Structure 1
Amino acid sequence: METVRTDSPQEQAARMHAVTPHLVCAGATEAIEFYQRAFGAEVMFLLPMPDGKVANASLCINGSSVMLVDENVEMGMTGPKHLKGTPVTIHLMVDDVDAWFGRAIDAGATVDMPIADMFWGDRYGIVEDPFGHKWSLATHLRDVSIEEMQAEMAKLIC
C-alpha cells in the first residue's frame, strides 16, 4: 500500500468540521474498503506504516471527513471489537436512508435497529459495521415541533 493524497492539506482542513470522528479499526485497510462500498467513501489521504498498517487515513463520506487508523493495542489505540462494543454512534444524514442502509447491509454491516419513521421527523435506522462501529443513518421527512416530539415520546414511555 502506498501513500495516497487526492486533496491538499488545505482542502482536507476545509472538509473537517468542528468535530471529526477518528476511528480505530482492527484492519483499517479492510475498513476503508468497506466504507467505500457501504457509504461511497473517497480516500483523501492514506499514510501506511512500513508493515502495511494504516498510520493515518482521511476519508470523505457524504461531504464530511472521517479519519481512521489501524488498531495498536500496545500504544493504547483499541477498536470496538477489542473493547467488546462501543457506546458511540456516528450519525450520517443522507438523501435516501433506505438506499444507504441497504448498501451498508450489502457491504457487510449488520442491522442494529431497523429503519422506521421516527417521532422526531426522520426516517432512521442503525447498522454496525464489521469493525464494531455503529452508524445511524437518517433522512429528514418532516419538521416536528418540540411539543409534538414530547407528546409522541410520552406515548412511547407510558
Structure 2
Amino acid sequence: MRTMHPYLNFDGQAEEAFNFYKSVLGGEFSFFQKMSDAPESDKLPENEKNRVMHVALPINEHTILMASDCLPSAGHVLREGNNMYVHIAAESREDADKLFNGLSAGGTIEMPMEDMFWGDYFGSFKDKFGIQWMINFGSY
C-alpha cells in the first residue's frame, strides 16, 4: 500500500518545531538524526552539524510527519513554497521508479532515484506545477 506523508523543511528550527509538535500531537520519534551523523559531516560548517538531517513523528498508523533542516553551505535557501514536500512511500523499487519518472516529467530533478547511505532508495524533484515531491522505498 502506498502512503503519503507531509515533509517539512526548516532553517535550523526542525528540532525545536518537532519537539513542539510531539508535545501537542503525542507519540515518539520513529527516526531522529542530525547532520553530524551523516557521512562526510566533518566537511560541514560547525554551525550546521547540529541541524536535523531527518526526523519522523508518526501521527497514526498511516501518517508520519517528517522534516529536515536546510543546509545553507550546500546552497539550500528556505523560501515560502519550498518548505514542504509530498512524500510517497512506494511499494517497491519499480513502483518508486514509476512514480518518480511519471511525476517528475517536465519538472526539475533535485536528487535522482538512488540507494542512500541510510539504506533506502530515494529521490526528490519539483514537478512541472512547482510542487515538491520525495519518493522513497525502504523504511516507510
Tell me if both proteins adopt one fold, taking TM over 0.5 as the criterion. no
So what's the TM-score if we normalise by structure 2?
0.40
Q: Which has the higher contact order (CA 8 A, sep 6+)?
A: 2
The structure whose Rg is larger is: 1
So what's the TM-score if we normalise by structure 1?
0.36
